[in-house]
């Protein structure tokens, strides 16, 4: 067991005998390992394990994450668990810090949504630690291949195929794609899908930009796409799409008369924007409930494979897309 936790046998002995000289985090890690390996705790260390579940989110600015938190939190409460919301903020606690805190609280499991696991170049050591401990974990979103946790995701390839097919049906032949950072796994999947779809359709005018997932990020890179002559833009999130619309307007053009814009998520109020946003809807209700089911099954001792469950999205056509018209380069 000492090897599994990454500590010495002497440290394990101190924990089991209630001796001082061990940090709270290490003590919690050893006790967690006892539980997941099926060993019985010494009498003085017994007690019902905390029915807490960590829910780790990258932000709350994108409305899709509060919506997911509401679904996951409600489903956990129905199963008798209390969610502990952990949100990364600039200058605040990191994911690794939150993992340390959750282990100290002896949580029963953790759900990560859109975190560092989806970024190939981000630190992953805290995930490896959870893998070694065997703590129940579920990832919501596409993840790096080396993180063998159960995963629940929207099918990024299908999302792009739907958006691409819609714009092509409207006569758009020069398309732009606004993605997240280059190491972002879902963005890589979207890019690969767009290239395949464009090749199959015989369209060779594709312009790609990477940005931070924010309205400002979408606005900044859309300026370059417009100068390249695109008539339709597919964005990897709704905030990116709203930034794209702002960029179009600030150049004296309009959506959808001059440029069509498609988002991704169908987060709250996207039907209330001007124009209402055409977007690809993530099935977050089904995804959130599936994530909770996978987590609770692990907590209950069931064997859950690390296969990824892919959920198909749905194109929602609103007012931000229209037939293409020929225009001069800006």
Give pLDDT, residue 42: 60
Give pLDDT, residue 318: 98
Give pLDDT, residue 61: 87
| Count of positions (residues) in the chain | 330
Q: What is the mean pLDDT of residues 86-101?
A: 88
Give pLDDT, residue 303: 85
Q: Token pair of 318, please? A: 């609103």
303: Cβ contacts below 8 Å, ≥ 6 apart: none
pLDDT band at 1 (very low <50, low <70, confident <90, very high): low
Are 243 and 219 within 8 A, CB to CB?
A: yes
Rounded CA-CA distance 165/167 in Å is: 6
Are 266 and 273 within 8 A, CB to CB?
A: no
Of 230, 283, 236, the C-alpha closest to 262 is 236
Q: Is the pLDDT of residue 71 over 80?
A: yes
Give pLDDT, residue 35: 63
Q: What is the mean pLDDT of residues 95-117?
A: 94
What is Dmax (Cα atoms) for the chain?
A: 78
Q: Is the pLDDT of residue 3 over 80?
A: no
Are 5 and 133 within 8 A, CB to CB?
A: yes
pLDDT tens digits, one per residue of 127-140: 999 999 999 999 99
The pLDDT > 90 percentage for the chain reads 77
* Half-sphere CA count of 317, side-chain side, radius 13 A: 11
The pLDDT > 70 percentage for the chain reads 91
Q: Is the pLDDT of residue 212 over 90?
A: yes
Are 140 and 205 within 8 A, CB to CB?
A: no
Of 102, 53, 77, the C-alpha closest to 298 is 53
Q: Is the pLDDT of residue 219 over 60?
A: yes
pLDDT tens digits, one per residue of 262-313: 999 999 899 999 999 999 999 999 999 999 999 999 999 998 888 899 999 9
pLDDT tens digits, one per residue of 28-55: 777 777 666 656 556 455 444 568 999 9
Give pLDDT, residue 57: 96
Give pLDDT, residue 46: 42
Q: Is the peptide bond before 70 cis (omega within 30 degrees of 0)?
A: no
Give pLDDT, residue 50: 65
Give pLDDT, residue 4: 61
pLDDT band at 13 (very low <50, low <70, confident <90, very high): confident
């Amino acid at each position: 067991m000492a090897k599994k936790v990454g500590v010495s046998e002497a440290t394990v002995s101190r924990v089991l005998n209630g001796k001082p000289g061990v940090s709270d985090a290490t003590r919690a890690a050893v006790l967690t390992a006892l539980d997941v390996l099926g060993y019985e705790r010494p009498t003085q260390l017994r007690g019902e394990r905390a029915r807490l579940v960590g829910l780790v989110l990258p932000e709350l600015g994108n409305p899709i994450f509060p919506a997911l938190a509401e679904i996951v939190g409600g489903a956990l409460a129905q199963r008798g668990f209390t969610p502990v919301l952990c949100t990364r903020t600039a200058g605040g606690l990191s994911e690794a810090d939150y993992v340390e805190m959750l282990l100290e609280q002896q949580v029963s499991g953790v759900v990560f949504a859109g975190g560092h696991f989806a970024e190939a170049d981000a630190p992953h050591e805290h995930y490896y630690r959870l893998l070694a401990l065997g703590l129940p974990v579920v990832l919501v979103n596409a993840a790096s291949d080396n993180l063998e946790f159960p995963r629940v995701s929207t099918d990024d390839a299908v999302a792009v195929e739907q958006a691409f097919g819609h714009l092509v049906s409207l006569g758009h032949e020069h398309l732009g794609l606004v993605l997240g950072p280059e190491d972002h796994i879902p963005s890589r999947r979207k890019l690969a899908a767009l290239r395949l779809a464009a090749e199959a359709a015989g369209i060779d005018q594709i312009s790609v930009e990477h940005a931070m997932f924010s309205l400002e990020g979408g606005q900044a890179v859309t300026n370059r796409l417009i100068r390249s002559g695109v008539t339709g833009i597919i964005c990897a999130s709704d905030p990116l799409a709203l930034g794209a619309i702002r960029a179009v307007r600030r150049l004296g053009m309009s959506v959808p008369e001059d440029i069509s814009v498609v988002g991704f998520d169908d987060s709250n109020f996207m039907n209330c924007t001007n124009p209402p946003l055409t977007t690809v809807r993530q099935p977050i209700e089904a995804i959130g409930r599936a994530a909770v089911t996978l987590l609770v099954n692990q907590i209950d001792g069931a064997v859950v494979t690390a296969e990824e469950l892919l959920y198909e999205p749905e194109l929602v056509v609103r007012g931000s897309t229209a037939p293409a018209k020929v225009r001069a380069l800006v």
